[in-house]
Amino acid sequence: MTPTDLKSARAPDVHATEARGLDVLRDPMLNRGTGFTEEERDELGLRGLLPPHVLSQDEQADRVLQNLRKLPEPLDKFVALNALHDRNEALFFRVLCDHIDEMQPLVYTPTVGLACQKFGQVFQRPRGMFIGANDRGQIAKMLRNWPYQAGIIVVTDGERILGLGDLGANGMGIPVGKLSLYAACAGVHPRLCLPITLDVGTNNGALLDDPFYIGLRQRRITGAAYDELIEEFITAAQEVFPGVLIQFEDFANHNAFRLLKKYRDRACTFNDDIQGTAAVALAGIFSALRITGGKLADQRILFFGAGEAASGIADLIASAIAAQGLSEEDARTRCWLFDSRGLVVKSRTDLAEHKLAYAHEHAKIGDFLTAVKTLKPTAIIGVAAVGGTFTREVLEEMARINPQPIVFALSNPTSQAECTAEEAYRWTKGKALFACGSPFDPVTLNGQTFVPRQGNNSYIFPGVGLGVIASRASRVTDGMFMTAAHTLAHLVSESDLAQGSLYPALPRIREVSANIAAAIADTAYKQGLAGKPKPKSVMDDVQSQMYDPHY
């Protein structure tokens, strides 16, 4: 199955609209520009409003690509793609779906990081909703201003955007980008997707001084004021959009864990930075173990970073090991965390709650190379958003103690990557089983070409969301992320592994997402969480709901 094979019942339908003339051309959900056929031009009152030559969507997509490729900088391409999104939504998604390899880094990481940093400058038209610290008491009313019935909300408060820190309201690029990926990668209908930024202020002084900053010019609200805003938002979202899936995105540590804990049993919600990352990383480890022949329970995994990504991944690994028969406690001893103050060990008194389960008995160690030499990990996973920390010495040591070390440099954007693909392969003499957060080109070393693939959440969350929507699941469970990890790992082929790729090729993403969605929906039916009877074929049901941008 290729992206272009995926026809569905939900193609944009201009024949069902009552709009005519310029109203059609100005509505990005209806507009096909020069792609309107002669018949459609008559039917919709478009004669004379368009140049006479009719282009097929294929030709339009070619023209978009040619123009895009002429632009010098990724940020220019980001802006051009946004403009296309605002003009002709189906064409935008057609280009994304058919060229996801080339487009994902433009609409999402790494370019979205830069776009968020310059959001005030590149801002052209609003997309999604901004709910501010001063909007207490009227959030439900505001949500009713959204013209569609949302099925998925991606929400951020902008405090920890990728590895870039507090970008305040400029963080809106992230929910917008994620929801584009929901539609492109899994065929969640764009009309079901609602990006939201909770503008609770920013502590980023440069933004507060920036005349073009789009957000509230005040420091972040905290404590009860913050919690009450979140509570009102969640309650209002559930009331206005019953059954809506709420994905928390890029919240800082101190809020992310507790909000997930508070709402996971009260709402249909998950935190992608914690749970989505966990599933994609675990799938990568499963692939690496297919190459080494090792067992998960025999691994020693050292995380560089001890935040949302690290604890999410460690928890899911521990669950996967426990599922093989070990106690949860034993399983957790396979994972070690290293944070900004050194190795996380029992004797430390400065540990946040989410690190405690991994604070093992051990002497304190202050530098990462010494931790590697001492613990002799089989895998290192970089999720600290500190660039260049998998140094030559670290990588050489990993290659010395392991025949095939697992090296995941997952931090985003590219500037924060722990090492490049080239460094990972070169300094381990081609032994590393490597995955990255941001994209890297293939690397040829001594005649062998390695094709590194991104351990990117975009393999997981779109399929999870589609599965939740398709089954009308009322909750998102840890079991669903475990299922997603297994499903993704099973889709990695022998030829992928032969070239060092631990994930399927990105152009297979809609097939991957459909499989994950079916597995998630299946889990929802089994766990009694689905909101409708189980269909005869869960896969057919999922696929019938996938948005197809062809016209």
Alpha carbon separation from 214 to 14, 77, 119, 122, 204 (Å, rounded): 35, 21, 8, 11, 13
Alpha carbons 250 and 172: distance in angstroms, whole number: 10
Prior bond to 110 cis, omega within 30? yes
Taking the CA atoms of residue 7, residue 467, residue 179 and residue 509 in that order, the dihedral angle to the nearest 10 degrees is -60
* Residue 102 exposed, middle or buried by CB count within 10 Å (0-12, 13-18, 19+): middle
338 binds ligand NAD (CB under 6 A): yes
Residues 6+ apart with CB under 8 A from 505: 101, 453, 496
User: Minimal CA–CA distance to 173: which of 108, 129, 124?
Assistant: 108
Would residue 178 show up in a list of annotated catalytic residues for this protein?
yes
437 binds ligand NAD (CB under 6 A): yes
Which of 77, 141, 178, 346 is an active site residue? Answer: 178
Alpha carbons 210 and 12: distance in angstroms, whole number: 40
The per-residue b/e assignment along 397-432, b for 16 or more CB within 10 angstroms, e otherwise, is bbbeebebbbbbbbbbbbbbbbbbbbbbbbbbebbb
The region of 16-24, 167-175, 411-419, 494-502 touching ligand NAD under the rule CB under 6 A is 411-419
Q: Do the Cβ atoms of 452 and 442 come closer than 8 Å? A: yes
Return the residue of 44, 410, 482, 542 that touches ligand NAD, per CB under 6 A.
410
Nearer to ligand NAD, 286 or 338 (CB): 338
Q: Do the Cβ atoms of 312 and 305 come closer than 8 Å? A: no
Nearer to ligand NAD, 23 or 478 (CB): 478
384 binds ligand NAD (CB under 6 A): yes
310 binds ligand NAD (CB under 6 A): yes
Return the residue of 107, 237, 240, 280 that touches ligand NAD, per CB under 6 A.
280
Residues 6+ apart with CB under 8 A from 99: 65
User: Minimal CA–CA distance to 192: which of 144, 245, 247?
Assistant: 245
181 binds ligand NAD (CB under 6 A): no
Nearer to ligand NAD, 386 or 401 (CB): 386
156 binds ligand NAD (CB under 6 A): no
The region of 2-10, 134-142, 308-316, 540-548 touching ligand NAD under the rule CB under 6 A is 308-316
The 251-270 contact track toward ligand NAD, x by CB under 6 A, reads: --x-----------------
The region of 20-28, 282-290, 337-345, 465-473 touching ligand NAD under the rule CB under 6 A is 337-345
The region of 187-195, 227-235, 451-459, 464-472 touching ligand NAD under the rule CB under 6 A is 451-459
The region of 183-191, 380-388, 393-401, 542-550 touching ligand NAD under the rule CB under 6 A is 380-388
Alpha carbons 180 and 469: distance in angstroms, whole number: 16
Alpha carbons 376 and 98: distance in angstroms, whole number: 43
Which of 108, 213, 226, 263 is an active site residue? Answer: 108
The region of 142-150, 382-390, 478-486, 507-515 touching ligand NAD under the rule CB under 6 A is 382-390
543 binds ligand NAD (CB under 6 A): no
Return the residue of 111, 117, 204, 277 that touches ligand NAD, per CB under 6 A.
277
Would residue 376 show up in a list of annotated catalytic residues for this protein?
no
351 binds ligand NAD (CB under 6 A): no
Return the residue of 98, 199, 249, 273 that touches ligand NAD, per CB under 6 A.
273
Return the residue of 174, 260, 385, 492 that touches ligand NAD, per CB under 6 A.
385
Q: Which residue's CB atom is positioned nearest to ligand NAD?
A: 307
- The least distance separating ligand NAD from the CB of residue 242, rounded to whole angstroms, comes to 30
DSSP 3-state of 258: helix
User: Minimal CA–CA distance to 483: which of 455, 457, 464, 496?
Assistant: 464
Return the residue of 110, 387, 455, 467 that touches ligand NAD, per CB under 6 A.
455
Q: Do the Cβ atoms of 503 and 488 come closer than 8 Å? A: yes
394 binds ligand NAD (CB under 6 A): no
Nearer to ligand NAD, 306 or 521 (CB): 306
Return the residue of 166, 339, 418, 522 that touches ligand NAD, per CB under 6 A.
339
Residues 6+ apart with CB under 8 A from 39: none
411 binds ligand NAD (CB under 6 A): yes
- The least distance separating ligand NAD from the CB of residue 80, rounded to whole angstroms, comes to 25
Residues 6+ apart with CB under 8 A from 490: none
412 binds ligand NAD (CB under 6 A): yes
Prior bond to 413 cis, omega within 30? yes
387 binds ligand NAD (CB under 6 A): no
DSSP element (H, E) containing 519: helix 509-526
Q: Could you list the residues that contact ligand NAD (CB under 6 A)?
A: 160, 162-163, 253, 273, 277, 280, 304-310, 338-340, 383-386, 410-412, 416, 437, 455-457
| Residues with active-site annotation | 108, 178
